[in-house]
Amino acid sequence: MTTRKRKNVEASLLRKGFVLDETDHRCYIFKVENRVVAMTKVSRDTQYKDLHSDLIAKMARQCSLTKYQFLELVDCSMSKDDYKEHLRKQKLLE
């Protein structure tokens, strides 16, 4: 089972250019040229210190990535530019 520390995932998303928007959840928004191209959410509930496999898969889908690609993004083997190129190939930046 795959897990990641919530604080590490959130910090990584911020480093990759996502912007935090705190609403009922902690929303991470990725914009290109002032246009929202991806958004994912994390619960504000402090009991969720680790993100489990199912939530990681859901966050990956929200970011238009596979679970493996999302883990590459948050584990820093996928750069911000790599992510933008992936979105471009998916025709989400056109």
What lies within 8 Å, CB to CB, of 54 at 6+ separation is: none
Single out the residue of 58, 56, 64, 66 nearest to residue 12, CA to CA. Answer: 56
pLDDT in tens, the chain (94 residues): 689 999 999 999 999 999 999 877 889 999 999 999 999 998 777 666 889 999 999 999 999 999 999 999 999 899 999 999 999 999 988 7
Residue 46 has what pLDDT? 60
Residue 24 has what pLDDT? 77
Query: Whole-model pTM?
Result: 0.89
Residue 4 has what pLDDT? 92
Provide the residue ranges of all domains of the chain, joining segments of one domain with +: 4-89
User: Contact 67/41 with Cβ under 8 angstroms?
Assistant: no
> For the residues of 23-67, what is the DSSP string, one character each?
SSSEEEEEEETTEEEEEEEE---TT--EE-HHHHHHHHHHTT--H
